[in-house]
Every structure is written in C-alpha cells, then in structure tokens.
Amino acid sequence: MIPDFYKVSLVRQETHDTFTLELEGQDGQPPMSFEPGQFNMLYVFGVGEVPISISSGPGRKMPLTHTTREVGTVTKAMRKLKRGDVLGVRGPFGSHWPVEHAGNGDVIIVAGGIGLAPLRPALYELLSRRNHYGRIVLLYGTRSPDDILYLDELKHWRSQFDLEIHVTVDRAVGSWRGNVGLVTSLIPKAPFDPTGAMALVCGPEVMMRFTVQELRRRGVSPSRIYVSMERNMKCGMGFCGHCQHGPHFVCKDGPVFQFDEIEELFGKREI
Amino acid sequence: MTSPHQGAPHAPSVPSVIEPQGLEQLFAALLRRNYKLVGPTLRDGTITYEEISSPSDLPAGWTDEQQPGMYRLKTRDDNAVFGYAAGPQSWKRILYPSVLRLWQAHRKGGKVEVTVDKPAEEPRYAFIGVRACELQAIGIQDKVFLHGNYVDPNYQLRREHNFIVAVNCTAPAGTCFCASMDSGPRAKGGYDIALTEVILGTEHYFVATAATKFGTEVLGEVECRPANEKQVTAAEAAINAAAENMGRTIDTTDIRQLLNRNFENPRWETTAARCLACANCTMVCPTCFCHNIEDVSDLTGEVAERWRKWDSCFTTAFSYIHGGSVRYSPAARYRQWLTHKLSTWHDQFGTSGCVGCGRCITWCPVGIDITEEVRAIRDKDHSREEV
C-alpha cells in the first residue's frame, strides 16, 4: 500500500474537463514496465488515491502518462498539480489488452469519450509492430467535437495511412464536417474483415453493450471481443472488495475482460 | 488450513483428559512462551473475545440465547466455561483490525518520506476457545489475505505466530447452522490443541488432542491422563448432540447455480423492504473482508496518513464511481452480500464464504435470516423446471 513517488514533468489540458499528466521517476528509478490497458493507483499527497489507466505506450520511449477527467476530490486535486510536484504511484495492476494474440487478423478499436485513454497504449503497441497485423481500425465517438481527446495525435495517425480512423460525435457544431451519431453507427460500414478479427472496446458500459452487439452482428466472435470495466477500487490487489463484479475482482481479473467471460452479467443492472 | 508457524500439522494426538484446574497450566504454558491470550469473557452483556490472563476470566456458568435480532446472556445450571455459542465479535477483530493505520508520510521539499506502521513487538496471540465455525472462517480469511497473488503483510504478521486452542462446540445457539455448512461443530483442522468440554453429573473435564508439534509441546506441560473409552465417547456424544441441536440449516444443494439463476427473484425486493442497510451483518461476519482506504492529512498539509477501515457492501459509497453508485438499491446490495457469501465466493476462493456461525442473523436489527432467505429463493425458483 506504499506508493512510489514520481515527479510531474508535464500537465496538459486535453479538453475542457480532461487532462494529461506525464510523470518521471525520481533518483534514477527505472521506468515502469506495464502492458497496454493496465492501470495505476495515483495518490495525491494527503488527498486520496484513485485508479487511473495508463495512457502512454508500453515501450520505454515515452514518459509514464495518465489522462483522466476531473470528476472528484482526487482528480480535481490532481489537475492542480504543477511541473515538479510529486504524485504517488502504485502499480501497474490488472489485465491487459491482449494485442499479442491479435494474430494477423484485423484489429478494431472502439472508444467512447475518455475510453480512448486506456486504448492509446494498445494503439502504440500495434503501431510499433505494424506489419504483424491486418487492418487496424479506430472508431471513436465523443459527445461533441470539443470532447475529442488527443486530436493532434489522431490527425497525425490519420496522415500515416496505416491506420483507419473514423470519428463521430453525438452532437455536432457548425464547423463540424465529420460523422454525427453514436459510435455504434460506424461499425456496420467500418472496413474490416470479421474473420479472426480482434476488437478492443472501452467506454461507458451502455456504449460497450451496444458496440458488442454491433460487432457480433458483423460477425466478430465474442471470444475475440475485449472490454474494459470500471468499478470503485481502493487497493488494486483484490483485498478491499470494492471492485467486485459478480465472481470477478475488476482490479485483478480485469479491467480488461474477454467479453464471453462476463457476458452473463454484462448489462445486468446493479451488479 | 494450518497454523502457519509450526510447520505441517500431524494427525491429532491420542486424546487425553484435563481437569478444569489444568486450564491454569495451559494458560501458564502459553504465557511463558510470551503469548498474549485472547479468549471469551463477559463484556457489555455479551461474551466477547478479549485479552485474558487466567481461566477465571472465562465466562464460567454462562450461556447465551440467540434468535433473529436477539442476543441474551443467561446463567447455566453448571459451571461450563465454554457453554455458549459465537458472540458478536469474531477473531477477525484481532487478525484483521477494524481500524488500522498503514503508514505516515512526511513531505519535505520535493521528497516524500513514508514510515510504515509496525507494532513495537511482533504480535503473538494465543486464541483460547476457537469454535469450528471460526476456524473455518480464519482459514477462509487466510485464503483472502495470504494465498492470492498478493499477501497482506498486516494479516500475515498477526497470523504468523498465532497459537490456536480450539473448542469443539457443545452449545450451539438458535441461529447456528454450521453443521449444514459442513464447518462444525467439530474442529477439523487449523488448530494446535482442541478441547471438548464434558460435564456429566458432578464430573467436569476436557478431552484434549494436539494437532501440531507445538501443540503437543504445550499440552505436555499440562497435567493430563490418557482419556478412557467412556470419556472419549462422552465427548463425542456432546459434539454429536450439538450437531443435532443446531437451530437452523441451509440446504446447500446446487446453491451456486440456484443463486446464479435467481438474479431476478422477487425475494430480493421483499427482503430489501425490511433491510436497513445498516451493515451489521458484514461487521459481525467472521469472513467479510472488505475495507476502505482513507487518506488524511494534517492542517499543514505536510503530514499525511493512510488508514484501513472495515467497509461494507451495504453502503452506497462502496460501489460509487463517477456518476453514481453501481448498487444504489438496498435490494442490489443485499443480493450482492448474499450471493457473494454463498456463490461467487466459491469462484473467487474455492470455498463458501459462509461458515454457519449465525451472527448475521442474531445481530440483524430486523432479524433477516440468511437461512430463511435461501429457502425463500428456492421456493420461488421459477426457472428450476427450465434448467
């Protein structure tokens, strides 16, 4: 339960309510090794600790990065941190996006809102071994154009032609020329071959539910669909009990689940 | 389910007989080995586990009457020292304290120094009078805190030098159902010494067996004689009678499947209408392990502390995530608790989370009875025919 203390090297406002922290180890601490989709428990001194997924690429080239939304006491205090401040880190915890099992089929990544943050390491991982995979398709939905995360990066990736990116917003504003509608509406015409395809999905539970439905309608096997769950967490080690989801502890059995493993409980209310 | 410190347990030794005065010697042998003795004693109108120093602290001549939402002490017509069932507090209070500071941290400039809280001396607890249901519960918490991917160092520290004197139960309460949970009344393992208290007319003695090397050593310092056949039979009869006299039962046949397919059973709502979501059942339960982590700081903001406190799945804060609580209705919270105990615990730890001690029934202010709930769900198990 003792965090390692990192130094904040960068604070970046992403959208009106989301921000990114880049961290560096102190005193030659070796970089954290983690898998895409895992999370850390981030501790603001004297305020509290919250689970936040890792958003940097799993290689050693990038600083340890977390993108989160300002929603509660801890994340609000986190937003106020400045370059040079300390932040406690415990982790990494949990299961990961199993991109190593993607084979040479297509990979479909479906993100809703800030759900893109835990998927970003998977994208980095896929792109770092680009020629191992088939088509890589990112379908991303946000509430409005102002809520699009990592906009510059998305533009950069789009210009590389080895990654299909389709973005949609629930509500458009005047200058928006892109898709309007839920992210699920992008699935029927998305350019991928469902045979052997792997899908990684992260967003609000209701978004994931309908996304899985559409993916299955396209013929993606439920054993090849992965979703990332969110629950209250206090320890990250399966002791505190808060993150239980039926038989699973989301902190150690998840947060990434193969869809067919949780299918029975998925979408049931108040699990 | 073994006491961790004495190595592999051996088969229980040949039973011997100890007179009531022998308990003095047993306590003395443990005190000589620097154990803190924790055992049943009268406090606040209940029998609770406290630090004790002599057999005179035991509640001789007392028993309890327990029913849903009811606990009352009564005198016995004999001088039995273990003639009662489980009180409000289980041993988890010692092994897994309800409030514990984990660390303190000081911020100096850009650095943070963390001091981990450790007791001044290694805790050496000898538990006196651990019932079979409680042994089972300790074994279950061992699985939670010691046998997963991570080990809880605080639990480990308290468990490491833990000596256990078990008592085979001969006085079950009206809310007990350990026999149907296959966790009692006879201690099956996880103890150093087991005693069975026998009172027959004017005779009062304990039939004792040791199950570890250390237990044998300690028992060797107590005046005892080999038990004769009659004494062994009397002890067995007392335990068998306890099994027959359980106030309650749970039919555990296919209980996991039963609960898994009754997620929508109307009974959850019926019970939730009575449930106060007070969390009493989770506090008294000897296996409930959920806790909260609280981070605090002093007024300067330079000193911070982390505390661990028992928490309960009956609070709305327990499942709170951005946007609201996952389990906002009391029905969902009751369902979570009951299905965790009897069904998903098996998935998580390979065992039931219920040992049949009956505390959740006794200490529920409105007398909700887990055995009755399971029966009611079984009765309304409409999907049974289709499965």
Please give the pLDDT value at position B99.
98
Sign of the alpha-carbon torsion through B152, A265, B280, B138 = negative
Which of B263, B293, B320 lies nearest to residue A235, judging by beta carbons? B293
Task: Find, in chain B, the residue whose alpha carbon is nearest to that of A70.
Answer: B322
Distance CA B345, CA B157 (A): 24
Across the interface, do B289 and A241 touch by the CB < 8 Å criterion?
Answer: yes
pLDDT value at position B295?
A: 97
pLDDT tens readout for residues B315-340:
999 999 998 999 999 999 999 999 99
In the CATH hierarchy, which fold is given to the domain comprising A4-93? Answer: Elongation Factor Tu (Ef-tu); domain 3 (2.40.30)
Tell me if B179 sits within 8 A of B371, measured CB to CB.
no
Average pLDDT, chain B: 94
Structure tokens at A60: 């050693």
Domain boundaries, chain A: 4-93, 99-228
Report how far residue B121's alpha carbon sits from residue B100's, in angstroms, rounded to the nearest whole number: 16
Helix (H) or strand (E) holding A138: strand A136-142
**At which residue do the structure tokens 């904040």 appear?**
A8
Cβ contact B84:B63 at 8 Å: yes
Residues of B in contact with A43 (CB under 8 A): 295
A45/B304 touch (CB, cutoff 8 Å), yes or no: yes
pLDDT at B44 > cutoff 50: yes
Better pLDDT: B112 or A30: B112
Residue B150 C-alpha, separation from nearest chain A C-alpha, in angstroms: 6
Q: Which of B196, B288, B205, B204 is nearest to B243 (CA)?
A: B196
Rounded Cα distance between B119 and B116, Å, is 10
Mean pLDDT for B261-268 is 94
Q: Which of B 5-44 lie inside 8 A of A, CB atoms?
A: none
Q: Quick check: do A4-93 and A99-228 share a fold?
A: no
Mutate: best of B104, B107, B112, partner A, most A CBs <10 A: B112
Average pLDDT for B237-262: 96
pLDDT at position A16: 96
Is residue B273 within 8 angstroms of chain A, CB to CB?
no
pLDDT of residue B385: 52
What are residue A179's DSSP bridge partners?
A168
Share of chain B above pLDDT 70, in %: 96
Of B145, B297, B340, the CB nearest to A239: B145
ipTM of predicted complex:
0.94
Smallest Cα distance from B266 to chain A, Å: 15
Confidence check: pLDDT of B10 > 80: no
Please name the residue that has the structure tokens 């009106």.
A16
**Chain A interface, Cβ < 8 Å to B:** 1-3, 5, 7, 26, 43, 45-49, 69, 71-72, 84, 86, 88, 230-232, 234-235, 237-242, 244, 246-249, 252, 268-271
Query: Tokens in use for A197?
Result: 């395809």
- Count of beta carbons in the 10 Å neighbourhood of residue A159: 8
Q: C-alpha angle B233/B214/B83, rounded to 5°? A: 40
Write the CA distances from A192 to A99, A100, A220, B356, integer angstroms: 16, 19, 10, 55
Q: What is the reported pLDDT for A29?
A: 82
Output the CATH code of domain A99-228: 3.40.50.80
Contacts of A1 in chain B (CB under 8 A): 102-103, 293, 306, 308
**Residue B256: both structure tokens together:** 């996991």
- What pLDDT does residue B3 have? 47
Task: Read off the pLDDT of each residue in B303-314 and give the average, rounded to a whole number.
Answer: 98
Predicted pLDDT of residue A22:
97
pLDDT at B8 (0 to 100) = 60
State the pLDDT at residue B383.
64
Cβ–Cβ contact B322 with A under 8 A: yes
The larger pLDDT score, comparing residue B317 to residue B122, is at: B317
Q: What is the pLDDT of residues B46-79, one digit of tens each?
A: 999 999 999 999 999 999 999 999 999 999 999 9
Residue B41 CA to residue B58 CA, distance in Å, equals: 5
Number of Cα atoms under 13 Å in the Cβ half of residue B186: 14
**Contact flag B291-A234 (C-beta cutoff 8 Å):** yes
What digits encode the pLDDT tens for the residues B279-296? 999 999 999 999 999 999
Nearest to A46 among B295, B326, B335 (CB): B295
Residue B170 reports pLDDT greater than 70: yes
Cβ contacts of B30 within 8 Å, gap of 6 or more:
B37, B126, B163, B218
B327 and A270 in contact by Cβ < 8 A? yes
pLDDT < 50 stretches in chain A: none
Q: Which of A2, A46, A246 minimises the CB distance to B297?
A: A46
Confidence at residue B7, expressed as pLDDT on a 0 to 100 scale: 52
What is the nearest CA distance from B330 to chain A, expressed in angstroms? 10
Contact B81, B58 (CB under 8 A): yes
pLDDT for B6 beyond 60: no
Task: Give the pLDDT confidence of B216-237 residue by residue, as tens digits.
Answer: 999 999 999 999 999 999 999 9
